[in-house]
Copies of this chain bind each other. A is one copy, B any other.
Amino acid sequence: MSKGQMSKGQPIRVLCVDDHAIVREGLMSIVALQPDMEIVGAAESGAEALKMFREFSPDVVLIDLRLRDTTGFELIRDILALSPSARTIVLTSFEGDVDIERALAAGAKGYVVKGMVREELLEAIRDVHAGKRHVPSAIAAKLVDHLASEKLTHRELDVLKEVSKGKRNKEIGAALSIAEDTVKMHVKSILMKLGVNDRTEAVTIALRRGIIHLQ
């Protein structure tokens, strides 16, 4: 790892990971214009990203949360396993507080939403390269909004995913090999934790917050 003694004159070496060619292209063209940065690679999958990370040891890695062969969360963990001092920034269109929380928990140093102004991204890259965290206040605010809200347990998540498929409690019980009454218990808990009236609103709120995703 040749990051410790990086002098001010050397450009920030950036790797970007996104399965959309347009986004990779856009990132490259934005970053390439900065005199203090350079793109060392653009990967379209997690596997390719890891290969490029090993090969180029970039200073900063930009990562989308949705990838073809893995998730951004997993990729961040994989990269940190290779190099614990790696600096990663999530660049995604997901804005749910749970997505943000999971990304930061996985070890991301920054979280930037696609659709922000160009400067926000560049600032994030410079901050994170300098060892700082960079989470825009609008993003941080979403986390704060749900600080008090209880997290769903693993089992509740299982149930919620089945609920989103339109299954009845009885069917969910059969699918998860538990009693219908247990399912009802979980559903009640889910509704309470999410602060909603019924299972349908539970699903839409969960989608909005990034607790579950379609497909």
Contact = CB atoms under 8 A, between A and B. Distances in A.
Nearest to A21: B118
Given A214-B207, A214-B208, A165 B201 contact: yes
A20 B23 CA distance: 10
Interface stretch (A5-13, A78-86, A191-199): A191-199
B115 A198 contact: no
Given A21-B115, A26-B29, A203-B203, 16 more contacts: A19-B115, A21-B26, A22-B26, A22-B30, A23-B23, A23-B114, A25-B25, A25-B118, A26-B27, A28-B29, A163-B200, A164-B204, A166-B197, A166-B200, A200-B200, A207-B214
Interface of A: 19-30, 93, 114-118, 121, 163-168, 196-205, 207-208, 214-215
A200 to B, nearest CB: 4
Contact of A166 (B165, B166, B204): B204
Stoichiometry (number of copies):
2
Q: Closest 3 A-B residue pairs measured CB to CB?
A: A166-B201, A26-B26, A25-B26
16 contacts: A20-B114, A21-B26, A22-B27, A25-B25, A26-B27, A26-B29, A29-B29, A93-B93, A163-B200, A164-B201, A166-B197, A166-B198, A166-B201, A166-B204, A207-B214, A208-B215
Nearest to A25: B26
B203 A204 contact: yes
